[in-house]
Amino acid sequence: MEETVAFHEKQYLGFSKYSNLRRIILALFFFVAYYFSEPDYKSADILFYLGIGMLLLSALLMYVLHLETTLKNGGLIFDGLWTSRKVKIDLSSIESVELINYSRYYVRRPVYNLHRKGRIHFYTRGKDAILLRDKDGLEYVIGTQRPEELFEAVKIELEKGLQ
């Protein structure tokens, strides 16, 4: 059977705007504290180096893969750098798919395979998500940067499975 990839997306930790904002504000605090510290105070240099370290950390996180989502051959596969195993959702057991808002809160943390209140969450960034319900009543919430594209790809794969 030929492998056809219907959807593929990589999400990186460093692109979350709220996480970046927190790190930049912390770096600015270090730089301001360094600027207003006494010139003869030798330990004040640590504040400058901490500010530089925060900026470097933000830059490095742009290259840290958190979640890779692939839709192929009737299965949705999640893989990432921080995970020890891949998660595969067989679309033959999915009853419905819908487009939802991920959360009403502005500050959200990235999660991978988080089981909470009967739902399994996969999220890095973005405000929209895809909600999949399987035949057992389990729900999968999949955060994505391209929600409409993933929604349409899953719908097409589900229609293929019905034929």
* More confident of the two residues 123 and 96: 96
Q: Which amino acid is at 98?
A: E
At 21-69, the pLDDT tens digits run 889 999 999 999 999 988 777 788 899 999 999 999 999 998 888 888 8
Q: Which of 59, 57, 54, 67 is nearest to 110 (CA)?
A: 67
For the ranges 31-35, 88-92, 118-122, the one whose mean pLDDT is highest:
31-35
Share of the chain above pLDDT 70, in %: 90
Whether 86 contacts 79, CB under 8 Å? yes
Q: How many CA atoms lie within 13 A of 45 on its CB side?
A: 2
CA 154 – CA 91 distance, rounded (Å): 8
Q: Which residue has the higher pLDDT, 11 or 84?
A: 11
As a whole number of angstroms, the distance between CA 112 and CA 141 comes to: 10
The pLDDT of residue 104 is above 80: no
- Dmax (CA) of the chain: 77
Q: State which amino acid sits at residue 119.
A: R
Tell me the average pLDDT across 145-155.
88
